Structure 1
Amino acid sequence: MAAGLGVRVALKPEYRITPPPQLSPQVADIPRSNFRFDFEFERKILAEADKESMNWSKLGLENFPPKPNGTTSSMGANSDPVVSKYIASGFSREVVTVAVGNYGDNPTKVQEFVTGYNLLREMGFSSNNVAEALLMSDNDTDKALAHFLNSSS
């Protein structure tokens, strides 16, 4: 009884798509690396490098070069009790020196700067650029990131 009834659909040529091109069979022959990076070991090395007295023996790196003494004193960080206070709470000397230099002993601002700095450095941005962008954006990580993304050259 319903033979001959139906809906006919026609697509305009500009809306039609062609099937995707066939990939060459050579694509499957790409050699794959089986290298496995030990991220936990890397974290331990970086944590040990941030300490004043590094103990490489517990990582099995007895032949690692010792940290030269006196190289960080150029900014007076060794004698600055404010910087030392933040370093004692686990922050990196490099970051704390910049943060305290710009915000003084303001725990909120120093914490915001260090947190934003570490996040942006993990994303791969350079140290100087990260510090500059955070200072321009008043420690707003989103604004600093937008600065990097908008000024990509």
Structure 2
Amino acid sequence: MRRYRNAHPPKASTTTTPRTAGDLLAAATELRAERERRDAEQRARERARQERSAAAARQRHLDTLAVDQPAVWQRVDKLIATNKPRDYDTAVQLLVDLRELSERDGNTTPFRQRLTELRTTHARKPSLLKRLDLADLDA
């Protein structure tokens, strides 16, 4: 072994000083911080992509409702007429969609009038009125 080492001396560039435990821990901390930063950026990009996708889907949904608003209002009336809590929830969600559609179009007056009529017609249904209040659907 000695003859081999003498025949093949180590090159000067390969001699390095040994790393200490502190050096290794510092390098590991830097690598961890970099990995966490990359992961956070990836999560932020994914969250932004999902939000854009949800907003686009919401706009498509509102566009389909905008095509035939009278039919949507009739569906709301039918759902309320069933006197079932689950149907009330569906009706309230449709009303929220109609409100957002009227705000998007910049014409909230007809919606507010219809909502006022709906509240007066169904004034004896506290469960429905409570749901409308919780959805911030006031006339």
TM bucket by the smaller chain?
under 0.3
Q: TM-score, normalised by structure 1?
A: 0.24
Q: TM-score, normalised by structure 2?
A: 0.25
Name whichever structure is richer in helix by fraction: 2
Rg bigger for which structure? 2
Per chain length, whose mean CA-contact separation is higher, i.e. which structure has more relative contact order (CA < 8 Å, sep 6+)? 2
